[in-house]
Amino acid sequence: MNKRKLLFLPFLIFVMLNGQDGNKEKFHFQFEMDSLEMNVGESKQIKIKLLDKNGELAQNPFFISGARKSLSVSPRISDSTGVAIVTVKAHKPGRLRLGTRSITVKRDERIRDFIIVNVPYPPLDKIVFNKTPNKLYAGTVTEFLVEVFDVSGLTREDIDVELISSKQSVAEFDAFGNLETKKPGRITITAKAQNVKETFKVSVVKNPTRSVVMNPAETEIRTGDVLHLNGQALDKRKSIIKDAPLTYTYSGQANYGEFGLPASGLVTNDGRFVAETSGLYTLTASSGGYSTQTTINVLPRDVKKKVELVGHGLISDVLTSDLWIWPGIGKHKGKDFAVTGTWGSNGEAYFWDVSNPDSMIIIDTVTVDARTVNDVKISEDGRIGVITREGASNRKNGFVVLDVSDPYNVTISAEFNDDMTGGVHNVFIYDNHVYAVNNGRKYDIINVDDPKNPFRVGVFELDTPGHSIHDVWIEDGIAYSSNWSDGVVAVDIGGTKFDESDRSKSQYNPLLIKAGEGSPSSPKKLAEMGDPTGRNHAAFPFLSQSTNQFYIISGDEIFPWGVLATQGKPSNPRGGFHFLNFSDPDNPREDAIYQVPEAGSHNLWVHGDTLIAGFYQGGLRIVDISGELLGDIYNQGREIGVYQSSHKEGKIPNAPMVWGAQPYKDYIFIADMNSGLYCIQLVDENKSDTP
């Protein structure tokens, strides 16, 4: 059967900003002043109104936003009539934007405007070197980095710094901050920026190096494998010179027929090498005019498998959003089900029987007052479902709690929309709580012990200027949120503290060492890593089964040419996945990236040591992420398989647009924005059965 459950009357019409065509001509923002001038640390107020064509208040709320990392604003949403008295505080200098955006039913009817906030640059205060050694060896190269701070305590990346050696015959800087030492002597190193300078003295001494050795563990590796070269500088007694810097280089000859000729790879300053193409490589370690070489053979990674389509559930009248697959319970035990959302459409969520994935069928439909059901989640016990709401005709967005114990007859248990005017974009269900990304700036934590009577117990929100949030994912009592410029943030919402001294557990998430004090009502931040691109859109925790390294995989999202799906055209986004190593939670670092150059990343999943990545127009990408990770994964032959989902009768025909995917049993289920639900499986090239 295919029933429709209506949360509100379908013909209720609101003659207001968010329900009519041509709104961009009928409404406009009025700012009390056409610009603001303020200093770092200063606050000012400004009144902003949303008016109709007659100059009357629009009777519709709107968002206010400050430049990320630079301007904080309060409140971030106007009152219901369309008026906001906004307090603006400047945290960084520059020509910054204070922006506004109306709250509408249809995405393409949003009205935006802004004014410029001019914040002058404060005077410089000091320069700090990353290192100030007392001694350097002649015949070596040392990289020096500096940070410039102004009187407000901010790091000034806009400032050019000049590095100077007092005696260029002894040591000389190149244009990139590398100091080449030529002969023994004593010099003064100076960093100058505007009217500020910093100096220190260093002795260049005779280099005791008389030989260099390398001790790589292997002489034959695969593309993508990381080889530690273990270079050492030795003196005349063959003793190791621990503080002698080494320089590593490589050259290579790729195997004929290999994609990406000539030979390509990466070698790091600390002596790690990874190859992107197979072939013979000569690796060199040098120090003090001495060097050594070794040759290694790099084989193709050879992980590719055949991708076979098992089944397809075509959705051709609306755009599809996220999916979730789960096993049936009670009288439906032994069967398998799926739910998919819809985007920019009619507020529908489809429920599927996928027990026979070659013939998936819609068995029920829930329709709510919304344009977009962006996210869908099912509780671990298979009893509660949650669907998100954006673009409600009465601005009562939020989420809807469902009883999904009988997927053939899904019923609405409750709605939750308190303080969620701007809409809920993503949710997660964990331990009888719903974590709802609310108004794009925080996540609210809602208790659903009684699904018919949900209530808020907690909130997590960053305190950084112009902060925003897109998504949240939870494992082991730790919530991983995606926060655009603020990057990924790990929060304890009930993690059980793990004693590091207990070595009986071979693998563990190191964040659990810091956990144990948070709860749904009192979330506690554990670790974070910012995103310099400002595009962090997704996050997924990953404990490597092969190396025990713990990562948070951070996904970008950007639409350089806009979201063309609103015009019925294929979109052309960009983005990739960054592997952020949190094995030391206090000092995270980026180790590797997986990025398809011609496509945009979206949602992801990790199963074992395999990345299952939705790559929008680039299709579904299945990637081997086993072993140590370093460099550009896309070019290392790690792709196991690619599936380009599309259909000639799709909502946008013949255009892949993979939203996300979920591994389930021996299959991978895919939600394609333009053409619905797919099921695929991987098959070894030389076998007919599934792996």
Dihedral in degrees, nearest 10, Cα atoms 657, 663, 665, 668:
20
Domain formed by 306-683, architecture: 7 Propeller (2.130)
pLDDT at 18: 41
pLDDT at 23: 56
Given a contact cutoff of 8 angstroms between Cβ atoms, the answer to whether 182 and 193 are in contact is no
Given a contact cutoff of 8 angstroms between Cβ atoms, the answer to whether 199 and 188 are in contact is yes
What are the structural domain ranges in the chain?
Answer: 4-119, 124-205, 211-299, 306-683
- CATH node for 211-299: 2.60.40.10
| Identical fold, 4-119 and 124-205 | yes
C-alpha of 385 from chain center: 25
Tokens of 380: 């671990």
Alpha carbons 76 and 161: distance in angstroms, whole number:
38
Dihedral in degrees, nearest 10, Cα atoms 520, 525, 530, 534:
30
Tell me which residue of 70, 277, 272 sits closest to 158, measured CA to CA. 70
pLDDT at 212: 97
Which residue type is seen at 548? N
Tokens of 661: 């995917």
pLDDT at 2: 44
Alpha carbons 94 and 250: distance in angstroms, whole number:
42
Alpha carbons 5 and 206: distance in angstroms, whole number:
82
Q: Which residues of 135-169 are buried (b: 16+ CB within 10 A; e: fewer)?
A: ebbbbbebebeeebbbebebebeebebebebeeee
pLDDT at 261: 65
pLDDT at 511: 95
Output the DSSP codes for 277-322: S-EEEEEEEEETTEEEEEEEEEE------EEEEEEEEE--SSEEEE
CATH class, 124-205 region = mainly beta
- CATH node for 4-119: 2.60.40.3450
Show Cβ contacts of residue 121 under 8 Å, excluding neighbours closer than 6 positions: 93, 94, 150, 156, 158
**Which residue stretches of the chain have pLDDT < 50?**
1-22, 688-691
pLDDT at 105: 81
β partners of residue 119: 94
- pTM of full prediction above 0.85: yes
